[in-house]
Structure 1
């Protein structure tokens, strides 16, 4: 028989012993109540004697059974008392180890759960950091896009202003050239008209120079005299004068 079977038998005998003892106590209580009647008087204090069945059970069952378990489980004719005690201690240690293993297993499961919780928290923190980084990157990209659009708009405005200024400058240059061309044409026409002049009444060389050149200085008069071979400023009515 194994240790567990002996222990089960001992436990069964112990329970039957306790049930018999309880039954004896109940019978004794009922007998006292019958003896005292239906009134609620307290029974007299008497010495409590050990039940006969208990004595018999201890004498003839429990003690022999304990000796039998000892001989079967622990007794070995070839072993000394020290070795028997050592085996007994080994059995106790083995039971303790079993309990320790169960406790270690429970502690390992707890550590595993704690580790899983820590990993879950770490993963959640990583996910939150990743999401925050993505949001930050998206915001930075949006700001960069807005800055790019603003820069493009600024460049476009500058180009439009530069084009407008260039157009205005071109128009001004064209207007200037047109004015210069007009003046040149006017001067050409004036020069064509001023090639010759027929002297009229009451005209002299000074008035003729002032009319055609806007200047009656001696230098202008000398140029007209040289073109016509005139010795002085004297002119006659009907005289044709070359205007250089």
Structure 2
């Protein structure tokens, strides 16, 4: 059955439906006239029933018309009804490509900005962490240097104290040694320090005199008769 046959069939149903409608309208007018002629009768509360022609109209006109429109607009040879309905739904819900592309670009742009912001935040955080680590390292190195300096000063002070102690001990030992070897001389009449040095050391030089003076704690070469002088 081609499209022309469907159209002829629809036209026949439409003509039949119009004839039925005219007949129904004539019957309705007769009924109203009968009701108006007997005014004393109370109108009956009757339920309106669905006319037979309406059912026939739906079956023989609307359904074939819907099928005809479907075949005319959407049907393609070789395509199933399910596929055609799917394509129709996709056409209805399909978005404008330009709008979709613009939306994707906006999303990509926003994502790119977020990524850049996250990257900058990470770089700043890394810089802060590196700076803090460098400050901590510098503080630790300064602390170690201060401790090393204090340790070196303590070591030097200990060495100096040890050297002074050893020098003092050596001095005392030398004095004790000299005292053990020293001899005494009692100054006689007509003797002076020069003659005493010359007699004991065979040398009356200033160096020898200075040695004798230092050993006895004397400030000059003056001596007294009867004075005991230690000779180193």
TM-score by length of 2: 0.42
Bigger RCO (CA 8 Å, 6+ sep): 2
TM-score with structure 1 setting the length: 0.40
